């Protein structure tokens, strides 16, 4: 009996450890997204704030005697900032270390402007002041420096004041979500247009690739013809060729076609996809031959067989290919950056818009974050809905 409980306990511990590890890693993955999601709802001063905080908040304001005043917490009491004053740092001439601070308006220069009294300390000449500190007049101080501070009063009693540094004073904040950021960033960078452009490009690329891949994959899988295997080998080889090598010649091709700065340049070069053809071919090969034989005997054409037998059976593979191309088209950056990154903002896709937003709104990180949220909303939604196919896509690409 003890052995059983022991292993049970170990199983429970194991499980707990598993969840702990997974959660820690999940936090690592989600935290940056959380920063951006909340950041996109902040005001500019909130997002630039140091130390940073996760949730968006703005400083509370109270109305005192018809005036809107900012609320702070000073020494445990909620107080409003009434005014900012210049503060002098004073000390007696015989002990420069014993400094006191007082508003400069409470300090009076001895002898006035015309006949200022001075004192020499350690070879340096200082002017002498009479300063009122806490209601008492202290005479004969020298001013060593100055700073500024705020006068904070109780909201219910404006005469009860304390003096403190405004910059480091703790503010009283409450949650507030600046949803207008999204509209602002959309107007700033034309993100609505970029979004529909991206949708259009993505739909065409996905649809086009699926179509050409089905046709090509079918031929490679089921139609024996001389040269087929050689062509197929070239196709597989081409998957290995990195895209960078095509940048310059493709750019020249786009120039020749007049497609620079045009969405067409983002669609047509990418719908003839060796990887997609390969994927469809592999799937078609695995479909048993006897399924189509009956149709062949009935005199069905290849076209009919392909669309009525193969395609319905291949929906998982097609979905997998579609998710792959979706991500590719939605997120591709280097090519759009080169070929449509110019001045025609109307043709920008999201990746290019976002990159430019990163420069244009460098002073407004909250807007950049809002832009990021807009850009990732669609892929994340699609991912949540079609998770299975995304994961399958990865899995099949790994095994093949």
Partner 1 sequence: MRHARWIAVLAALAVVTAACGNTTNEETTDAPDATTTEETDDTEETDDTEETDDTEVTEETEAADGDAVNLRWRTRPDNQAEIDVYQSVSDSIDEAWAEATLEYEPGGTETAAYQDALRTEIAGGTAPDVFWIPGTDIADFANRGLILDLREVADGNDSYAGDDAYYEGPMELLTYDPESQASGESLWGLPRDVSTFALYLNLDLIAEAGAPDPRELADNGEWNWDTFREVGQAVSELGDEIYGFGMNNWWANPGIWINSAGGSFFNEDRTACALDSDEAVLGLEYMTGLYQDQLAVPYGEDSQPPYEAGQVGMQLTGRWSTPAYRAIEDFEWDVVNIPEGPAGAVNWTFWGAYVVNANTEHPEQAFDLITRLTDGETQGQIAELGANIPSRTDDPDTIDTFLTFTPPENNQAFIDGLNSSVPEGPLWEGDWPGFDTIMAPAIEGVVAGSQSLDDFQATICEQLDPTFD
Partner 2 sequence: MASIRLPSFKLPRLLDAPRWLTLLTVWRLVHALAAAAALVLVLTSETIAGPARIAGLSASILLLLLDLGGFLGLLRRRSLGRSLSLAADYLTFMGAVIALLQANGVFVGMDALGATFGRGVPYFAVALLAWLLGGAVVKEGRDSPLTRPLRIIGWLAIGAGLLAVGLLPGLATFLARTARPLPLGLLAVALLSAYLAWRTFQGDMALELRISATSQRTMDGLLFVSPNLLGFIAFFAGPLLFSLVVSLTEWDAFGAPTFVGLGNYANILSLNVQFLDAGQSASAALPAGYFTWFTVGSMVVGARDVMFWTSIRNIFVFTLFALPLSTIPALLLATLLNSKAPGIKVFRAIYFIPSIAGVVAVALIWRQLFSATSGWLNYLISRFVVFWNGLPLVPQMTDPRLQWLSDADIALFSLVIVFSWMFIGYNAVLFLAGLQGIDQTLHEAAMLDGANRWQRFRNVTLPGLRPTTFFVIASTGILTLQLFGENVVLFPTTTPIGAGPENSTLTPVVYLYDQGFRRFSFGYASAVAWVLFILIFAFTLVQFRRQRERVEG
Which positions from 290 through 319 interact with partner 1, judged by CB under 8 A?
Answer: 304, 307-308
Select from 314, 347, 351, 393 the one that contacts partner 1 (CB under 8 A). 347
Beta bridge partners of 367: none
Residue 397 touching partner 2 (CB under 8 A) = yes
Characterise 190 by phi-psi region: left (phi > 0), alpha (psi -120 to 50), beta (else).
left
Smallest gap from Cβ 148 to partner 2, in A, equals 22
CA distance 91 to 101: 9
Residue 343 touching partner 1 (CB under 8 A) = yes
CA distance 109 to 87: 15
The residues in 82-101 that bind partner 1, with binding defined as CB under 8 A, are: 84, 86, 89
89 binds, among partner 1, partner 2, none (CB under 5 to 8 A by kind): partner 1
Select from 120, 223, 363, 398 the one that contacts partner 1 (CB under 8 A). 363
Q: What is the CA radius of gyration of the chain?
A: 36
Select from 146, 179, 180, 381 the one that contacts partner 1 (CB under 8 A). 146
Smallest gap from Cβ 350 to partner 1, in A, equals 14
Cβ atoms of residues 203 and 187 within 8 Å = no
Residue 264 touching partner 2 (CB under 8 A) = yes
The residues in 293-332 that bind partner 2, with binding defined as CB under 8 A, are: 296, 299-306, 327, 330-331
Q: Which is nearer to partner 1, 9 or 53 (CB)?
A: 53
C-alpha triplet 155, 158, 161: angle, nearest 5°: 100
Characterise 76 by phi-psi region: left (phi > 0), alpha (psi -120 to 50), beta (else).
left
Smallest gap from Cβ 118 to partner 2, in A, equals 43
Residue 341 touching partner 1 (CB under 8 A) = yes
Q: Token pair of 275, please?
A: 């990887």
Residue 147 touching partner 1 (CB under 8 A) = yes
Q: Token pair of 250, please?
A: 């493709």
Cβ atoms of residues 337 and 352 within 8 Å = yes
Select from 67, 346, 387, 397 the one that contacts partner 1 (CB under 8 A). 346
Select from 38, 39, 71, 181 the one that contacts partner 2 (CB under 8 A). 39
19 binds, among partner 1, partner 2, none (CB under 5 to 8 A by kind): partner 2
Q: Judged by CB under 8 A, which stretch of 45-53, 66-74, 148-156, 181-189 contacts partner 2?
A: 45-53
Residue 351 touching partner 2 (CB under 8 A) = yes
Select from 178, 197, 202, 314 the one that contacts partner 2 (CB under 8 A). 197
CA distance 227 to 219: 12
Select from 259, 275, 310, 389 the one that contacts partner 2 (CB under 8 A). 259
Secondary structure (DSSP) of 226-272: TTHHHHHHHHHHHHTS-THHHHHHHHHHHHHHT-TTSTHHHHGGGSS
Contacts by 104-108 with C-beta closer than 8 Å and gap 24+?
104/146, 106/131, 106/132, 106/133, 107/131, 107/132, 107/141, 107/143
The residues in 230-249 that bind partner 2, with binding defined as CB under 8 A, are: 231, 234-235, 238, 240-249
Q: Which is nearer to partner 2, 143 or 194 (CB)?
A: 194
Cβ atoms of residues 81 and 72 within 8 Å = yes
- Which residues, other chains included, contact 302 with Cβ-Cβ below 8 Å and sequence gap of 6+? 218, 222, 223
Q: Which is nearer to partner 2, 81 or 382 (CB)?
A: 382
What residue ranges bind partner 1 (CB under 8 A)?
Answer: 44-45, 48-50, 84, 86, 89, 145-148, 165, 167-168, 187-188, 207, 251, 254-255, 258, 260-262, 304, 307-308, 338, 341-348, 352, 356, 359-360, 362-363, 365
């Amino acid at each position: 009996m003890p052995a059983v409980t022991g292993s049970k306990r170990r199983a429970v511990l194991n499980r707990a450890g598993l969840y702990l590890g997974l959660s820690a890693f999940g936090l690592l993955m989600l935290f940056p997204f959380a920063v951006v999601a909340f950041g996109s709802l902040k005001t500019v001063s909130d997002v630039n704030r140091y130390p940073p905080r996760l949730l968006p908040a703005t400083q509370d304001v109270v109305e005192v005697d018809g005036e809107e005043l900012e609320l702070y917490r000073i020494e445990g009491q909620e107080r409003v900032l009434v005014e900012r004053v210049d503060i002098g740092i004073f000390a007696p001439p015989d002990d420069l270390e014993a400094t006191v601070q007082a508003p400069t308006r409470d300090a009076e220069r001895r002898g006035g402007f015309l006949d200022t009294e001075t004192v020499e300390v350690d070879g340096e000449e200082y002017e002498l002041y009479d300063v009122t500190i806490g209601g008492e007049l202290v005479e004969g101080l020298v001013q060593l420096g100055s700073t500024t501070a705020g006068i904070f009063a109780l909201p219910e009693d404006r005469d009860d004041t304390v003096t403190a540094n405004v910059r480091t004073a703790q503010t009283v904040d409450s949650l507030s979500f600046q949803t207008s950021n999204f509209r602002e960033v959309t107007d700033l960078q034309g993100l609505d247009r970029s979004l529909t452009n991206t949708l259009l490009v993505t739909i065409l690329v996905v649809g086009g690739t699926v179509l050409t891949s089905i046709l090509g994959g079918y031929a490679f899988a089921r139609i024996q013809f001389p040269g087929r295997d050689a062509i197929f080998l070239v196709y597989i080889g081409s998957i290995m060729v990195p895209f960078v090598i095509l940048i310059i010649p493709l750019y020249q091709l786009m120039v020749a076609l007049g497609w620079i700065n045009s969405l067409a340049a983002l669609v047509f070069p990418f719908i003839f996809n060796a990887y997609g053809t390969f994927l469809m071919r592999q799937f078609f090969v695995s479909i048993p031959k006897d399924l189509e034989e009956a149709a062949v005997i009935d005199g069905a054409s290849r076209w009919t067989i392909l669309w009525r037998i193969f395609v319905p059976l291949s929906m998982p593979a097609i979905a997998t290919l579609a998710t792959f191309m979706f991500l590719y088209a939605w997120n591709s950056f280097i090519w759009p950056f080169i070929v449509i990154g110019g001045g025609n903002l109307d043709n920008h896709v999201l990746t290019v818009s976002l990159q430019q937003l990163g420069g244009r709104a460098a002073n407004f990180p909250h807007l950049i974050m809002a832009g990021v949220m807009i850009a990732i909303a669609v892929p994340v939604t699609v991912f949540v809905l079609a998770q299975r196919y995304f994961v399958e896509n990865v899995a099949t690409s790994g095994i093949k």
